Structure 1
């Protein structure tokens, strides 16, 4: 698979204290956590479809992906179409995961002058699910390395 998404963890164990409400709804919590991660040397890395790396960052792009990730994983597990929209200015790409039997067709579309080449790739269902679940695990580990207090709260404790 050419598409890849991962998180480069902070280089050292930290214990940053969050200055936000750990009981916020999921989307708000993810935005706050990504802002916290952006205060470290943590990096979000994506590439594929003819460009490696993509121009993504932790505070905005990782946040937008993580907001959509639980739904995308759930949709893919149900063998339904899953979409991850990287709507940030300068990135503006959409990944569509369309399962067909034991395969998943991943299409990339762009709302900028950049165009994916190739525009699609086909991977096994297991590979596609591993990609998304791997990002979820990376996120949890990066949060644990940055703020164990946050990692033990809300949805992250269950990941």
Structure 2
């Protein structure tokens, strides 16, 4: 599949276009945790929201700074906050819906969280390679 790159000049536009295209394939996006498996997420909208935020979250965690992923899609409406504490990450989930996270706080080794986020970037790139290689060749995806 080819894509008119002139229409998508910035990162957010590229991500939205890519996720819209991936949403038309058999690509899937799975999120679980905080007492719910799976979360009610989709590829075209929710994955786009996460991928838009992914570079900043990864940079913040490498710097041992707090970071957030906002799952702002209607029906999901959750924020996962990552708080580095030494070699561990405390993840807190808040929501604006009737769903209540249980537990609301989870912890994991920093290396596991970084690995999960790197894996998401890698899998996203692989899906782009198959569905829209012209977008996959663009930065930052080419480095993922």
TM range (shorter): over 0.9
Structure 1 equivalent of residue 60 of structure 2: 75
8 A Cα contact 2:18 2:132, kept in partner: no
Structure 1 residue aligned with 2:70, among 85, 88, 112?
Answer: 85
Give the Cα–Cα distance (whole angstroms) in 2 for the partners of residues 147 and 34 of structure 1.
10
CA contact (8 A) 1:140 1:156 kept: yes
Aligned alpha-carbon RMSD (Å): 1.2
The partner residue of 2:80 within 95, 110, 118 is 95
**Would you tell me which structure has more helix in proportion to its own residues?**
2
Aligned position for 1:156: 141
1:12-23 matched pairs, under 5 angstroms = 16-21=1-6
- Secondary structure, aligned partner of 1:95: strand
Are the counterparts in 2 of residues 33 and 143 from structure 1 also a CA contact under 8 Å? yes
| Distance in 2 separating the partners of 1:149 and 1:64 | 21
Higher relative contact order (CA 8 A, sep 6+): 1
What's 1:132 paired with? 117
* Superposition TM-score, scaled by structure 2 size: 0.95
The equivalences for 1:10-89 within 5 A come to: 16-21=1-6, 24-89=9-74
State how many pairs are aligned.
Answer: 144
Give the deviation of 1:23 after TM superposition. Answer: 5.5
**TM-score for the superposition, normalised by structure 1:** 0.87
Offset at residue 19 of structure 1 (A)? 3.8
Deviation at 1:154, TM superposition (A): 2.8
Structure 2, unaligned runs of 5 or more: none
In terms of fraction of residues, the more strand-rich structure is 1
